[in-house]
Amino acid sequence: MNDIFKYGIDQLTVPKAIAIASGKLKGVLTPEVISKVQTSYGYVQTIVSQHTTVYGVNTGFGPLCDTKISEEDTRALQYNILQSHSVGVGEPIPEEVARIMLVTKVHALAQGYSGAALATLERIIWHIDNKVTPLVPEKGSVGASGDLAPLSHLFLPLIGLGKVWYKGQVTDTAAMMQAEGIQPIVLGPKEGLALINGTQFILSFAVKAVQRLYNLLEAADIIGALSLEGLMGTAKPFDPRLHNIRPFAGNQLVAHRLKTMLEQSEIMESHVDCGRVQDPYSLRCMPQVHGASRTAWLHLLELTTIELNSVTDNPVIFSAADTISGGNFHGQPMALPLDYATIAAAEIGNISDRRCYMMIEGRYGLPKLLIQDAGLNSGFMIPQYTTAALVTENKTLCFPASADSVPTSLGQEDHVSMGSISGRKLNQVISNVEYILAIELLYAAQAVDFRRPLKSGPILEAVHQYTRSKVSFANKDRIFANDIAALHTIVQDQSLVRVANEAAAQHQLNLNGLYNDQFGLY
C-alpha cells in the first residue's frame, strides 16, 4: 500500500473514505496536522485553567448548559457523556459504515478546531488500521446536536466500554484490550463532546448511498436497454437532437448510453419498418426518468463531499479566547438531499417494474409469461409480484424524515433534522431496487433469447452472455428465487456494470460520452 491520505489536509472524497475504511488506502497524521491538533488541545487546557465559561468544556450539556463544572470534574464530565448518551437500539449498523464513521471523525478532528488530544486521534486510527470496529446500534439519532447516540457507541471502546468486531467476532472491548495489551484512554476536557457532536452517522450512510446509487443508475441503463431489445423497442427517443433542446445533463447522458448500447444491433435492424409508432413510457422515457435520478445523485454527491471535509462538532475552538457555540452539528444540509435521493432511487425501481410487467404480457411477439408452455407452467408470472411488493415498500419509505421534527433536550434542541433516518431509509430503498433490477435482468435475458438467432450490439451481448453464465434459459418452471439471488449478486457487486464497461472499451465504444467515470467509483 503505497498511497497515503493526509488527515486534516487532503480533500476527502467518497471513494477515498471507502478505501481508507477498507484498508486499501492508509490515513496518516502529518507533522503539520499534529501541530494543529496539539495547539487546539492547548487552547482547551487554557480555557479550563483560566475558568473561562465555555459550553461543554466546563458546563453541562444541552439544557444543563448553564450548570458550571469544576476544573477537577471536567475529565469525569467527558467520561460520563459517552456513557449517558449511549442509548442506541436496534441491529448493529454494517461494519463498513461504522468504519467510515471512524474515518470521517478523524478527518474532522484533524482540522484542529475541536480540542481533541493527539492520543485520542491516534487511538481512533489504531482502530481503523487494525480493523477493530465498534458496534453501533442503528437507531437513536435525531440528526441534530450531532448523531449523539450512535457516535457515543462508536467511541465507548476508547474508554474501555462497549463492544467491537474483533477477529471476525463481536467481543467485549475489555476482552479485546486484554488480548491486544492496550489500556483505555483518559479523555480530556471537551473531548467527549467533540467525539459525539457531529454528523458522521448521517454522513457515512450518505457515503455508502453515493457509491451504491451510482452503481444502481449504471445498471438500470444497461438492464433497461436489454429489456428494450427483448421488447423490440426503438432507439429513436435517444437521438441527441431531442435532448439538446431540453438539455438536462442527466437526460443527455442516459440517452447517449442507451443509444450507444443499441448500436450495431441486429435486433434493432430487424424491425426498423415494423410500423409501431411509439413505445410505452417505461422504454421511451428512460432518459427523462433515469436522468432525473442521476441529477438527484449528483446533488447528493456534491453535498456529501462538502460534508466529508467539514467540521461539524460544537463548540468550535478558534483560540483560547475565541470559541463559537453554533449549529454545525445540525443534519439538515444532508437530510434534505438524502430524502430527495430516496425518491430518485425508488423511481428507478418503479419504472423497472413496469418494464418487467410489459415483458410478461405477451406483447410484441413474446410468449405470455415469457415461457412457451404457459398453463402447465406459470413461467415468469410471480417474480413480478416481488417487484410490485418492493415498489410499494419503497413508496412507504419515501416519506421524507426531514419533514418531521420532534423537540428534544427539554426544548433546547427544539428543531432536529431526523437525517439519520433519511440515510438509513435511502440505503433500504437501494437494497430493494437492487432486487427489482435483478428480476428485470432475469426477464430481459429470457426475452432476448426469444429473438435469437438475431444478436444485440457488442455491449449488450456481453451483458447477456455474462447473465447466462449465472442463470440459464428457462423452458419450464423452477425455483426462480435461486435465479433472482444469483442475478442480485452481479447487480449488487458491480460486476454487471464492469462487464458492460469492459465490453465498451474492448469495442472502442464511448459509453459515457463526456461523462466518463470522473468520480472514481469503479
- Catalytic residue positions? 55
Query: Residue 169 carries which side chain, given as an amino acid letter?
Result: Q
Q: Which three cell numbers stand for residue 23?
A: 484498508
| Total-model pTM | 0.95
- Which residue numbers in the chain have pLDDT < 50? 1, 518-522
Query: Residue 121 carries which side chain, given as an amino acid letter?
Result: L
Rounded to 10 degrees, the C-alpha dihedral 340/346/352/354 comes to: -110
Instruction: Tell me which DSSP letter residue 450 carries.
Output: T
- Complete DSSP assignment for 335-373: HHHHHHHHHHHHHHHHHHHHHHHHHHTT-TTPPGGG-TT
H/E segment holding residue 388: helix 383-397
Q: Which three cell numbers stand for residue 191?
A: 473531548
Q: What is the 3-state secondary structure (H, E, C) of 148-189?
A: HHHHHHHHHHHHCCCEEEECCEEEEHHHHHHHHCCCCCCCCC
* Cβ proximity of 346 and 397 under 8 Å: yes
Report d(CA 284, CA 255) in Å as an integer. 10
Closest CA to 467 of 479, 459, 475, 476: 459
- Per-residue pLDDT, 59: 73
Cα-trace Rg, the chain: 26
Q: Which three cell numbers stand for residue 233?
A: 423497442
* Cβ proximity of 415 and 144 under 8 Å: yes
27-79 tens-digit pLDDT? 999 999 999 999 999 999 998 888 887 776 777 666 666 677 677 777 788 88
Helix axes 332-360, 200-230, angle to 10 degrees: 20
- Per-residue pLDDT, 521: 45
Q: Evaluate the CA torsion angle 296, 302, 305, 306 in order and state its sign.
A: negative
How far is residue 167 from each of residues 93, 179, 180, 184, 324, measured CA to CA in Å?
A: 18, 11, 11, 19, 42
- Per-residue pLDDT, 522: 37
DSSP H helices in 187-271? 191-196, 200-230, 240-244, 249-262, 266-270
- Per-residue pLDDT, 41: 95
* Cβ proximity of 165 and 95 under 8 Å: yes
How far is residue 56 from each of residues 65, 67, 108, 322, 498, measured CA to CA in Å?
A: 7, 10, 18, 15, 49
Instruction: Tell me which DSSP letter residue 91 carries.
Output: E
448-466 tens-digit pLDDT? 999 999 999 999 999 999 9
Query: Residue 427 carries which side chain, given as an amino acid letter?
Result: N
DSSP H helices in 73-116? 74-84, 95-109
- Per-residue pLDDT, 519: 46
- Per-residue pLDDT, 90: 97
Residue 417, C-beta contacts closer than 8 angstroms, at least 6 positions apart: 142, 143, 144, 202, 330, 331, 332, 334, 335, 402, 405
- Complete DSSP assignment for 282-310: HHHTHHHHHHHHHHHHHHHHHHHHHHHT-
102-153 tens-digit pLDDT? 999 999 999 999 999 999 999 999 999 999 999 999 999 999 988 999 999 9
